Structure 1
Amino acid sequence: MMRLNEQARGVFIIAVTPFTDSGELDLPSTDRLVEFYLERGATGLTVLGMMGEAPKLTASESLTYVEHVIERVAGRVPVVAGASGAGLAPMAELARQMMQAGAAGVMVAPPSHLRSDDQLVNYYTQVGQAIGRDTPFVLQDFPLATSVQIPVQAIVRIVNDNPNCVMLKHEDWPGLEKISALRQAEAEGRMRRISILAGNGGLFLPEELGRGADGAMTGFGYPEMMAGVYAAHTAGDAEKAHDLFDAYLPLARYEQQPGLGLAIRKYVLARRGAISSSAIRLPGAKLSPADIGEIEHLIERQESRLQEMNR
């Protein structure tokens, strides 16, 4: 069974959860979506993340979706499953079920009431014990969504205290100095090495890679952008990575609008044939005709820019 570890790198796409127009899980679209992501360079998938509408799924739907994705992936890449929740008992049960289904690890974000370093360290120690030391977990650092600031010194303590914490999903903003500080802590022997994958829709991916990130764990309607930027950076061609990134940046920026980003991403994915419907399970935002017109304009300009680059 594939297990997530500290050496993980590449592009772990945060998968959307496809629904039908009536709001039911769309498993046939899930199959197409998995292939779409893998064909465009994903080296891992993450399901039931914040952009996967996890809180809108029932417990049985969550497990059904995870099992279906893992079955479709068939061991080609690792699958990480979101397990964040208010209580440790349901989190541990869900993590156990997902790992039994073949997940490579689970991702856990901190609850919003945590404030001090000691509270954060104690919480993740409890998480590490509750899910079992054989279950690798990803520490999700996303203050814009969780309202929880996780300082570098707290991350160092969490990593050192929990052998099964193998990855940081870095979504602090601004957060480039945090990556540098964590890699410095590793270099000085104050923290063991972990994988660091960047989020925030890839908006800072070239710079994050330059600071020591191992890749990305996020979503975008054109996942091949992140795969291409990572491949160019890994090959030592930073300028090519930036040029490719620049071609997609206007649409990536547009997709990062708070409250509307998922609707934009699902519209683009449906437009590209990856899913049948752009439906968001209620409550959720709905695009206006003006929104759609702007998206289409950005895609047209993006395609023209890419054609110019490939000449």
Structure 2
Amino acid sequence: MTTVHDRPSPPPFGRALCAMVTPFTESGALDLDGAQRLADRLVSRGCDGLVLSGTTGESPTTTDAEKTALVTAVREAVGDRAAVVAGVGTADTRHTVELALAAEKAGADGLLVVAPYYSRPPQDALEAHFLEVADAGGLPIALYDIPARTGTRIEPDTVVRLAEHPRIVAVKDCSYDLLGTQKVLSRTGLAYYAGCDEQILALYAIGAAGYVSTVANAAPEVFRAVLDAFDAGDTRRAAGLQRRAIPLIEAMMAAGLPGTVTTKALLGALDLPAGPVRAPLRPADREMTAGLLTAYEELAAGADQSQA
């Protein structure tokens, strides 16, 4: 008989997590002061976890030293008010282990480890990669399943086996496989975090622990309100809040530009810490930025009216 698991309580890294951008100065240097100000704003407005150096955080174009400095700075800014999860995934197992140990030393609470990209390892090699990282240090790990970017799916059966490791505790789910997600949820105690903003309520309703949101960089209160409404039993309001966010989600995540580009453009328009993107990414143009700002303002206005 298959054991059915309930939602993990409490979630290992909180419920409402932001995939935080990595702010840069106008010259392209790491902006640690900006990172601290942005982190403080996000936590003050409802985030109980911050994921650093992920996809949105431009991890492919930041150095190891910058990644470590970012963890140290954000930890200092948020103290114990929020979990700090460090993205340490690379295409190289040895390099990933080095980043994991550095993040632990810098004060991270957990690690986000993406499937190694480009080389497309088979499932047994993928499993060995994650186990080596988990064995190397003492921090809990969230697997990051985003096959559209890595070229490799962490198959549900592989996730189920990895869940037996005591430090592999969560999954950031960008698989777009609702059946596979439910299979893992039903067979393990892993905390699932929706990694695609349009799926936050859907995955939460079937037992996910919460989300890791890119849109939360600009609107951290929105999805926290979705979870709060659902937990209060007001599923109609939760669904309404999720649908209300769709225009901004679409503008930021499905407009033909990477989410990092659109997020930094919107944050810049709001006079919040962000700065430029690093090449090969290129900044959003004026028309795109204006559209993002309009979608944001319409969402903000709707939130104000619903609270009036």
Decide which of 192, 196, 199 is 1:196's aligned counterpart.
Answer: 192
Q: Report what 2:262 is aligned to.
A: 264
Q: Report what 1:190 is aligned to.
A: none
Letter in structure 1 aligned against 2:266 = V
Q: Report what 1:288 is aligned to.
A: 285
Letter in structure 1 aligned against 2:183 = A
Q: Per the alignment, in what secondary structure is the counterpart of residue 20 of structure 1? A: coil
Q: Is the 8 A contact 1:15 1:45 kept in 2?
A: yes
Aligned counterparts, 1:166-205, within 5 A: 166-173=169-176, 175-186=177-188, 193-200=189-196, 202-205=197-200
Q: Is the 8 A contact 1:251 1:299 kept in 2?
A: yes
CA separation of 1:157 and 1:222: change in aligned 2, threshold 3 A: same
CA distance in 2, matches of 1:44, 1:260: 22
What TM-score does the superposition give when structure 1 sets the normalisation length?
0.88
CA distance in 1, matches of 2:282, 2:45: 27
CA RMSD, 1 decimal: 1.9
Shift of 1:57: 1.3
Q: Per the alignment, in what secondary structure is the counterpart of residue 168 of structure 1? A: strand
CA distance in 1, matches of 2:41, 2:72: 18
Shift of 1:7: 4.3
CA distance in 1, matches of 2:35, 2:194: 24
Letter in structure 1 aligned against 2:178 = L
What is the CA deviation profile of residues 222-263 of structure 1, one whole-angstrom value per residue up to 9, with x for unaligned ones? 121111111111222111111112222101111113434212
CA separation of 1:54 and 1:137: change in aligned 2, threshold 3 A: same
CA distance in 1, matches of 2:283, 2:71: 26
Q: Is the 8 A contact 1:176 1:207 kept in 2?
A: no
Decide which of 55, 58, 64 is 1:53's aligned counterpart.
Answer: 58
CA distance in 2, matches of 1:93, 1:229: 37
CA distance in 2, matches of 1:99, 1:206: 31
Say whether 1:211 aligns with 2:206: yes
Q: Is the 8 A contact 2:265 2:283 kept in 1?
A: no
CA distance in 2, matches of 1:39, 1:101: 22
Say whether 1:165 aligns with 2:165: no
What TM-score does the superposition give when structure 2 sets the normalisation length?
0.89
CA distance in 1, matches of 2:92, 2:260: 26
Shift of 1:165: 0.4
What is the CA deviation profile of residues 40-94 of structure 1, one whole-angstrom value per residue up to 9, with x for unaligned ones? 1001111011110112112211111111111111122110101112333332222
Q: Report what 1:44 is aligned to.
A: 49
Q: Is the 8 A contact 1:176 1:211 kept in 2?
A: no
Q: Per the alignment, in what secondary structure is the counterpart of residue 56 of structure 2? A: helix
Q: Is the 8 A contact 2:87 2:113 kept in 1?
A: yes
Letter in structure 2 aligned against 1:263 = V
Aligned counterparts, 1:105-144, within 5 A: 105-112=110-117, 113-129=119-135, 131-132=136-137, 134-144=138-148
Letter in structure 2 aligned against 1:208 = L
Decide which of 232, 243, 251 is 1:235's aligned counterpart.
Answer: 232
Structure 1 residues not aligned, in runs of 5+: 187-192
CA distance in 2, matches of 1:144, 1:231: 30
CA distance in 2, matches of 1:185, 1:92: 28
Q: Report what 1:149 is aligned to.
A: 153
CA distance in 2, matches of 1:304, 1:109: 36
CA distance in 1, matches of 2:230, 2:192: 15
CA separation of 1:264 and 1:6: change in aligned 2, threshold 3 A: closer
**Identity value in percent:** 27
Q: Is the 8 A contact 1:16 1:51 kept in 2?
A: yes
Q: Is the 8 A contact 2:115 2:154 kept in 1?
A: no
CA separation of 1:76 and 1:226: change in aligned 2, threshold 3 A: same
Q: Is the 8 A contact 1:179 1:211 kept in 2?
A: no
Q: Per the alignment, in what secondary structure is the counterpart of residue 21 of structure 2? A: coil
What is the CA deviation profile of residues 24-52 of structure 1, one whole-angstrom value per residue up to 9, with x for unaligned ones? 11122112101110111001111011110
Say whether 1:82 aligns with 2:87: yes
Q: Per the alignment, in what secondary structure is the counterpart of residue 296 of structure 1? A: helix
Shift of 1:266: 1.2
Q: Which moved more, 1:41-50 or 1:225-234?
A: 225-234
Q: Per the alignment, in what secondary structure is the counterpart of residue 46 of structure 1? A: strand
Q: Per the alignment, in what secondary structure is the counterpart of residue 73 of structure 2? A: helix
What is the CA deviation profile of residues 166-225 of structure 1, one whole-angstrom value per residue up to 9, with x for unaligned ones? 11111111x222222112213xxxxxx12111102x111111111111100122121211
